[in-house]
Structure 1
Amino acid sequence: MTGTDNPSAEEVRAELVATLNAIEDKLNVPKQVGKATDRAKAKIAELREENPQALVGGAAAVALAVGAGVWAVARAVLKR
């Protein structure tokens, strides 16, 4: 900003552009999914380095949950 209390048109325009870019970034779902995927990959890589047993245990828990879900659906279908 200039030395006065009133910002120049260029400063206001630059601030508006920055605000619109931030809004676009937040509302861009594919971009947000990509960022979340990158964060998840980084956490998994960190877990693999620090505590591989926890990673194996987590994978086993997910497999068990998926298996239980498939079993429940199959059982419900067979009861019909």
Structure 2
Amino acid sequence: MNQTFAERVKELGLPLDQIIIIGSGILDQLGIRQSADIDVATGRAVLEKLAGDSDWVRKLDKNQRQLKKLLAYH
């Protein structure tokens, strides 16, 4: 069974009142086209909390600080 985009976002466990979905995720939620990833903008406090969480991996790419959650999809 495929997850909806909203379910994928909720699975990340981020504080929904402190994030903004950007990029192709908006198109996915509107049913225009499917998104392969979830692009999120958030404030420094959330980013620093995620940096200390072992479920997230820090990755530097094109001078942007990025964190990726380790998720197991079956």
Please report the TM-score for the alignment, with normalisation by the length of structure 1.
0.22
> Higher relative contact order at CA 8 Å, sep ≥6: structure 1 or structure 2?
2
Larger radius of gyration: 1
Instruction: With the length of structure 2 as denominator, give the TM-score of the two structures.
Output: 0.23
Larger helix proportion of the pair: 1
